[in-house]
């Protein structure tokens, strides 16, 4: 392995100044991507600039929304009770990245800046309307997450810029979110497909009726049948999909088709078709394109219903905990 210098700046400014003055330098956060690439000889930097010891990047603020510093680890996110309750999709995703050892060091900033089409935390950020806070030589700026991803491993960062964190708005009690990662094994696998959803609902019928519909081990279609009587309106929705395009994408046409509609089996059928038509999956070692496209239909439905379930039954001790 080729040698490199290793710098450990204590502030963001120090890091940016270092990057400007050094040749062939690379930022490193948790290192679970960068160190692997170096060991595989796919990356040969002269210097690494560690972002791990910068206190200013390790914040987590929950007042009036959610602001997470880029150097916060996946484990800290997954185990945070506020995120588990109010930003479920993000907790779902952070808890599914790699293994415990990886989650203990890998940062969310790293996961997003590496910008793999399969990045688990990308889909939740897309549905949670996150903005990326960026800091560079010229000052600070904010970019909506949807504009941040440019392609595989490409993001809208200019030379020397650092992602400071991710800002998400606050959502009301009638909003829920979920992320479903479709893999061949439970851990240490990249998703074959990842789908996140966020819904804001309005119950036209009775709340108890909705609770009843979900408190069952019945099939999804039977749940939907019961829900139809309750006039459950989807006021707002976001759907994001990973691994179906060169970058994580929003299913905007499907969102449009769902907004303002009453939730029903038929609606989900239409929705699935639209979302599948918006995906452009390819064959890979993890799964074939046709299978992925089919699973988009299944998982958008499940992710949305999982999010709805979380609004209707926010108490996590409630029976039964469905395997959405």
Partner 1 sequence: MKKEITFTLNNEKVVVEVDPKWTLLYFLRNIMEMTGTKEGCGYGECGACTVIVDGQAINSCIYPVLEAEGRKIVTIEGLMAKNGELDPLQKAFVDEGAVQCGFCIPGMIMSSKALLDEKEKPTEDEIKESIEGNLCRCTGYVKIIDAIKSVAGGR
102 part of the interface to partner 1, by CB under 8 A: yes
Closest Cα partner for 190 from 103, 299, 77, 97? 97
Helices (H), 164-216: 207-214
Euclidean distance between CA atoms 114 and 9, whole angstroms? 21
The 35-74 contact track toward partner 1, x by CB under 8 A, reads: xx--xx-------x-x-x----------------------
Q: Could you tell me if 79 and 92 are in contact, meaning their C-beta atoms sit under 8 angstroms apart?
A: no
Least distance to partner 1 from the beta carbon of 147, Å? 31
With beta carbons less than 8 A apart as the criterion, state whether 323 and 101 touch: no
Query: Is 104 a residue that touches partner 1 (CB under 8 A)?
Result: yes
User: Pick from 28, 72, 91, 135: which binds partner 1 (CB under 8 A)?
Assistant: 28
State yes or no: residue 2 binds partner 1 (CB under 8 A): yes
The residue within the footprint of partner 1, chosen from 81, 139, 172, 186 (CB under 8 A), is 186
The verdict on 31 binding partner 1 (CB under 8 A) reads yes
DSSP string, 110-130: HHHHHT-TT-TTHHHHHHTT-
Burial class of residue 193 (count of CB atoms within 10 Å of its CB; 0-12, 13-18, 19+): buried
- Contact between 126 and partner 1 (CB under 8 A)? no
Smallest gap from Cβ 307 to partner 1, in A, equals: 23
Site for partner 1 contains 10 (CB under 8 A): no
Of 293, 121, 322, 296, nearest in space to 219 by CA = 322
Q: Does 22 bind partner 1 (CB under 8 A)?
A: no
Binding site for partner 1 (CB under 8 A): 1-6, 8, 28, 31-32, 35-36, 39-40, 48, 50, 52, 75, 98-102, 104-105, 186-188
């Amino acid at each position: 392995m080729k040698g490199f210098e290793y710098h450990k700046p204590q502030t963001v400014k120090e890091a940016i100044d270092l990057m400007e003055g050094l040749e062939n330098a690379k930022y490193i956060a948790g290192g679970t991507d960068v160190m692997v690439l170096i060991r595989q000889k796919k990356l040969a930097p002269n210097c690494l600039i560690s972002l791990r010891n910068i206190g200013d990047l390790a914040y987590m603020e929950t007042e009036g929304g959610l602001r997470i510093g880029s150097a916060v680890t996946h484990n800290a996110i997954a185990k945070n009770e506020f995120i588990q309750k109010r930003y479920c999709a993000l907790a779902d995703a952070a808890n599914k990245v790699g293994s415990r050892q990886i989650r203990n060091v890998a940062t969310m900033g790293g996961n997003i800046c590496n910008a793999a089409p399969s990045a688990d935390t990308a889909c939740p950020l897309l549905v949670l309307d996150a903005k990326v806070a960026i800091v560079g030589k010229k000052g600070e700026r904010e970019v909506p997450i949807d504009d941040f991803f440019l392609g595989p491993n490409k993001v809208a960062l200019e030379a020397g810029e650092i992602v400071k964190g991710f800002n998400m708005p606050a959502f009301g009690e009638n909003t829920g979110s979920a992320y479903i990662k479709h893999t061949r094994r439970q851990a240490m696998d990249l998703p074959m497909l990842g789908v996140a959803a966020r819904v804001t609902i309005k119950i036209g019928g009775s709340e108890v009726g909705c609770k009843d519909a979900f408190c069952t081990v019945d099939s999804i279609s039977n749940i939907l049948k019961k829900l139809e009587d309750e006039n459950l309106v989807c006021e707002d929705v976001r759907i994001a999909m990973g691994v179906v395009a060169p970058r994580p994408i929003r299913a905007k046409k499907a969102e449009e088709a769902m907004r303002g509609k009453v939730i029903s089996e038929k609606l989900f059928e239409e929705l699935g078709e639209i979302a599948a038509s918006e995906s452009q999956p390819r064959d890979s070692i993890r799964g074939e394109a046709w299978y992925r496209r089919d699973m988009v239909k299944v998982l958008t439905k499940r992710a949305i219903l999982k999010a709805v379930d979380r609004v209707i039954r926010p108490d996590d001790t409630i029976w039964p905990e469905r395997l959405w």
